[in-house]
Amino acid sequence: MPTGTAMRDARTQLFDAAERVLLRAGPGALTSRAVTDEAGCAKGVLHRHFADFDSFLAALVLDRAGALEVQGAVLRGSAGTGTVAGNLAEALTALFGSVAVAIVGLVAARDGLRAKLRETWPTGVPVLAEGTSIVASYLSLERDLGRVAPGADIEALTLMLIGGGHLLFAGREDVPPDAVHRMVTAALAGAST
């Protein structure tokens, strides 16, 4: 690898490279060498920006969790329009059709990464926790609008939707939209008005 050539926005390029490796080959293939090779840079670039590889991976996970806020804004903006089940099915497909499922596997596979994440994110897996927050806030808005039953247990519904979405997408390339919609509709069965 040539050295001395500046990278524009090295963090973003390294994160994107890591995501491609993770999606293509899984958590076991995610090494600092694989990331820098994918990014087309010297291995030292990663270590110039991060204390160690687990620090890099923790920053990647937190970055991807933070990026979910855009999806959250879209979902919250859909409150009162379309159908609750349709809006949630789209949101869960966007969440779990992204890198989220792969990140859950990555966090589960690396003890050092979990330890780094615990320094700033005390419980749960950041992408799932952020997805849970997004779905709960959306369901609360819909309950306020009268499209979800007033007595609906938002926390339980959210956990069913996030857990069901994760199980539907884990290890699968293509999840039919009707499968997601059926799962969401079943979860909402007692909560719809």
Check residues 37 and 66 and name the one with the higher pLDDT.
37
When pLDDT is averaged across residues 75-81 and rounded to a whole number, the result is: 97
Would you say residue 157 lies in a domain?
A: yes
Q: Please tell me the predicted confidence (pLDDT) of residue 143.
A: 97
Same domain? For 62 and 43 the reply is: no
Instruction: Categorize the per-residue pLDDT at 6 as very low, low, confident or very high, splitting at 50, 70 and 90.
Output: low
**Which CA distances in Å does 9 have to 6, 37, 49, 51, 144?**
9, 16, 11, 18, 42
Q: Range of 40's domain?
A: 7-49
Would you say residue 23 lies in a domain?
A: yes
Instruction: Categorize the per-residue pLDDT at 123 as very low, low, confident or very high, splitting at 50, 70 and 90.
Output: confident
Q: Please tell me the predicted confidence (pLDDT) of residue 184.
A: 97
pLDDT digits (tens, 9 = 90+) for 42-54: 989 999 999 999 9
When pLDDT is averaged across residues 169-181 and rounded to a whole number, the result is: 88
pLDDT digits (tens, 9 = 90+) for 139-160: 999 999 999 999 999 999 999 9
Which CATH number is 128's domain given? 1.10.357
Distance between CA atoms of residues 172 and 193, nearest Å:
33
Answer for the pair 100, 127: CB distance below 8 angstroms, yes or no. yes
Instruction: Categorize the per-residue pLDDT at 4 as very low, low, confident or very high, splitting at 50, 70 and 90.
Output: very low
Please tell me the pTM assigned to this model. Answer: 0.86
Q: What are phi and psi of 148, to 5 degrees?
A: -125, 140
Same domain? For 147 and 161 the reply is: yes
Same domain? For 24 and 82 the reply is: no
Which CATH number is 39's domain given? 1.10.10
How many beta carbons lie within 10 A of that of residue 50, not counting itself? 18
How many beta carbons lie within 10 A of that of residue 85, not counting itself? 19
